[in-house]
Structure 1
């Protein structure tokens, strides 16, 4: 391949970039936009992704899927899933404890895993790159929020595999942004960089040092339940309450009304980043009643004051974890679309006693650019700007094992550099015990119930002996992708069990099945595109003929009676197209050929 690909798979927008010839460039989509909405829409005739999906309105609003990053790798009962259900117009159902997205596609009910929807977005990004480069795209570096847990990272890898991509490495989003910041920058000595990444669905903060091309992540912290979407949801709630207070009507009971309101609230949020007032006006919002309202920037900031204050918490945490003072930070780099919000910038600046924020990187593109740089770096590219880059990332959440099912013993602490390894000796707690079980845990809390259970290691057939005499060595390994591998070995006998945590991971058979399904959808998309092209060709030709009939220079080339005949047929054809948007490609082509042959026979 003639370049190295990096992908930022975002909650609201995604971006793909390529590193080649010593620099990074963002690959635009078919509409010329440098970021693509993370949306998939299903209609009675086709599947649409990105900007095309954004144009869908009307009866299909329940079949437009977004925010899928807030579902991937999670359980259905996760608080993040449950708290967002009322804001989503699409249906999320439970299957084997996991969330599935249910839509109506081609007049059939279809259920999709979050990984499949993410794969559709990745496939579209892959198409953009392949068309731009004129060659197949396979190997990529993909970014995830620093605070994504093991299950979410694995699910992201699965989505990539379904899309036909080979993931060279998973890296944390703020780390990628730091790489983009540091490219081609002359830094004398060691520089401490704080990256504040507030995106659509998550907030991440990483503290890195850059020294002679070595990027060392010292600490990372974040919140996977805090992003721009939460601010939008707060606005939705505000106007739902206002409508209820004014008209005694509850919009939240009508998903169509709620969806229309949500779009306006998203727009208002963006407007408030550059203006002090945003109007929110929707005709016939509910029960024929119009909403004529608006919100000031001050109201918006007060409404979300708790969210804004929470953004400072991970900043405080990384400073505490590294024993650094505010004055030790040389640069503060903002990334993620939500950092355009003035209040966020003001809070961060104030926290650092008025320190100027670094805005030299594009907040929407920096993460994808950094991923492309890392893709080139690990692939051995020898360009002058990256040949000396060395990236040292960390594990963002501690890993531990349960102690008799209640408390947690930590084996690898958070902010340990990866790849990492930790060991612990466990003993039997009953006489004659022949089976020993360990829960693999991720999180910072003291009790098992407050952490994420990643999986369970079961070692059977251990030596039967009095309580405490049989010993098992437990080894945790974390690879460069932040993915966890666990082994247990009985000391003395060598009896062992090794697992890669896979409580959410898809099997190879499931992946292959989903790859085949994805190819089927791609083929359907190709046919849908060809059908639309045939419809447009027929419409264009009919209107060209009509224009020709109205042209004085061409009218004399056809008899008057034939002109009237042709004009009537053209009018009927245009009306037919309007009434038959779901006709087949063959029908459109046949109509066009009939019209073409008729016109050829009538014009002299």
Structure 2
């Protein structure tokens, strides 16, 4: 009889969390793999856990790669080229990982980046990006970005770093997670775990308040509206023991409810504002050609729309202005917060839906939630905050997390825990699997023939405890 034992922090590669032991020495890192930005955490002996500064001494790095004259550009340099060379600049790759031809994500990508050429592999039917004589798939481009993150971390730490925990949205399926694992391997990283970003943020909160965790459960809601997705995660903190005698109680973080919208984020708001500015330009400026046919002009307009959106979060009106936007014509137009809110009126039901879904899954009520925290740049939009306050019935929204860095800092604590080079105080994590996980294998019949069997290992929304599966028909190895 053979058994596979799966623990709460280390699942087999085929499952939701990827975890393997390592001998990499004396440093570990985390990567908050956002669609628009990357934040990197670092831990090494004698140095507190910290956020890595990139070459421009900034604490977050644009998640983009650009090519020019057979040279690769990353981070700020690549972001600067996105408007001037959009044909060979690649943004928001995480949204397309492991996606196949026909997925709606490519329609959205084409609308957002109309001048970035892409096609589909004849065999895999996944997306590839042609550049000169080469064709790059998403895993390869993502691997380049992860490789650059590794090099930036090593320069900051002044030593080699391989061990990494990478955070991902909880709704990623197995194919998407495996693709990220492949990219990490290509980048020369030793992937300790793929940790759900909501769990990482909650862990960052818990490890600094472990003395406040008792046998009485505390519930926290984390609402995160990022660039392209929105998630609501309800976690429970409780002090409990894994032993039969009830001794040696340890703080435990358990995900009990999740809601999400895979396509609702700050990028959708920016796109609508960009389209509005484009219309204003058409109505007020005379040109010989259509502005949408010019890659550089549309890149500038997109960048200005993002800036205006941020300004309107704190001001009721502002001016959008771009010098020599198109055909040497300058552009200047007043934009009000009311205009922006009218552009996103139809999104209002979607803004609150993830919270309602998370509450329903958790089987709690809004009143049962003790703490609420908002994350992601999208939550800075006043209309978004207003809708959330209404859904939360006026419940206080706290500011106890550094929301830009909480995910990376929680993940680097987990990296220290999983690495052999460090000892940290234990903090149990029980994540939730949103998709059922099955084991497929061949079993022997009484006649000696092989018959395919499919067994459920974890059901949908099943928590991840220790799990043992017995295979009694075999005395030798099998697949």
- Report the TM range for the smaller structure's normalisation: 0.7 to 0.9
Query: Which of 146, 157, 161 does residue 170 from structure 2 map onto?
Result: 146
Query: Which of 140, 151, 160 does residue 184 from structure 2 map onto?
Result: 160
- TM-score (normalizing by structure 1): 0.65
Alpha-carbon distance between aligned partners in 1 of 2:456 and 2:283, rounded to the nearest angstrom = 56
Alpha-carbon distance between aligned partners in 1 of 2:181 and 2:82, rounded to the nearest angstrom = 32
Residues 390-469 of structure 1: matches in 2 within 5 Å? Answer: 390-396=428-434, 398-399=435-436
Query: Once the 2 structures are TM-superposed, how far is the Cα of residue 276 of structure 1 from its aligned partner?
Result: 1.9
Confirm whether residue 135 of structure 1 aligns to residue 159 of structure 2: yes
| 1:76 and 1:82 in contact (8 A); partners too | no
Confirm whether residue 98 of structure 1 aligns to residue 123 of structure 2: no
> Structure 1 residues 57, 330: closer, same or farther in 2, change over 3 A?
closer
| 1:207 and 1:217 in contact (8 A); partners too | yes
Residues 501-540 of structure 1: matches in 2 within 5 Å? Answer: none
- TM-score (normalizing by structure 2): 0.81
Query: Once the 2 structures are TM-superposed, how far is the Cα of residue 52 of structure 1 from its aligned partner?
Result: 1.9
Match of 1:598 in 2: none
Query: Once the 2 structures are TM-superposed, how far is the Cα of residue 297 of structure 1 from its aligned partner?
Result: 1.6
> Structure 1 residues 382, 286: closer, same or farther in 2, change over 3 A?
closer
> Structure 1 residues 459, 293: closer, same or farther in 2, change over 3 A?
farther
Alpha-carbon distance between aligned partners in 2 of 1:310 and 1:261, rounded to the nearest angstrom = 26
Match of 1:526 in 2: none
Structure 2 gaps of 5+ residues are 1-24, 240-250
Report Cα offsets for 1:315-366 as digits up to 9, x if no partner: 1011111210101101112222322222222222221111121222222211
| 1:240 and 1:250 in contact (8 A); partners too | no
Match of 2:270 in 1: 232
Report Cα offsets for 1:6-56 as digits up to 9, x if no partner: 111111110110235584210110110000011111111521100122233
Alpha-carbon distance between aligned partners in 2 of 1:140 and 1:362, rounded to the nearest angstrom = 21
Secondary structure of the residue aligned to 1:283 is: strand
Query: Which of 256, 276, 288 does residue 218 from structure 1 map onto?
Result: 256
Query: Which of 353, 370, 375 does residue 410 from structure 2 map onto?
Result: 370
Match of 2:212 in 1: 187
Query: Which of 382, 402, 427 does residue 389 from structure 1 map onto?
Result: 427
Confirm whether residue 10 of structure 1 aligns to residue 48 of structure 2: no
Query: Once the 2 structures are TM-superposed, how far is the Cα of residue 158 of structure 1 from its aligned partner?
Result: 1.1
Match of 2:4 in 1: none
Query: Once the 2 structures are TM-superposed, how far is the Cα of residue 122 of structure 1 from its aligned partner?
Result: 1.1
Confirm whether residue 35 of structure 1 aligns to residue 60 of structure 2: yes
Secondary structure of the residue aligned to 2:394 is: coil
Confirm whether residue 74 of structure 1 aligns to residue 99 of structure 2: yes
Q: In the comparison of the two structures, how many residue pairs are matched?
A: 427
Residues 539-578 of structure 1: matches in 2 within 5 Å? Answer: none
Query: Once the 2 structures are TM-superposed, how far is the Cα of residue 375 of structure 1 from its aligned partner?
Result: 1.1
> Structure 1 residues 459, 71: closer, same or farther in 2, change over 3 A?
same
| 1:148 and 1:224 in contact (8 A); partners too | no
Confirm whether residue 327 of structure 1 aligns to residue 352 of structure 2: no
Alpha-carbon distance between aligned partners in 2 of 1:481 and 1:65, rounded to the nearest angstrom = 36
| 1:147 and 1:221 in contact (8 A); partners too | no
Query: Which of 67, 76, 84 does residue 51 from structure 1 map onto?
Result: 76
> Structure 1 residues 257, 380: closer, same or farther in 2, change over 3 A?
same
Confirm whether residue 299 of structure 1 aligns to residue 324 of structure 2: no
Structure whose alpha-carbon radius of gyration is higher: 1
Report Cα offsets for 1:103-130 as digits up to 9, x if no partner: 3xxxx34321111111121111111211
RMSD, aligned CA: 3.2
Confirm whether residue 252 of structure 1 aligns to residue 252 of structure 2: no
> Structure 1 residues 131, 247: closer, same or farther in 2, change over 3 A?
closer
Confirm whether residue 86 of structure 1 aligns to residue 114 of structure 2: no
Structure of higher RCO (CA pairs closer than 8 Å, 6+ residues apart):
2
Alpha-carbon distance between aligned partners in 2 of 1:264 and 1:350, rounded to the nearest angstrom = 31
Secondary structure of the residue aligned to 1:196 is: strand
Secondary structure of the residue aligned to 2:426 is: coil
More helix by share: 1
Secondary structure of the residue aligned to 1:102 is: strand
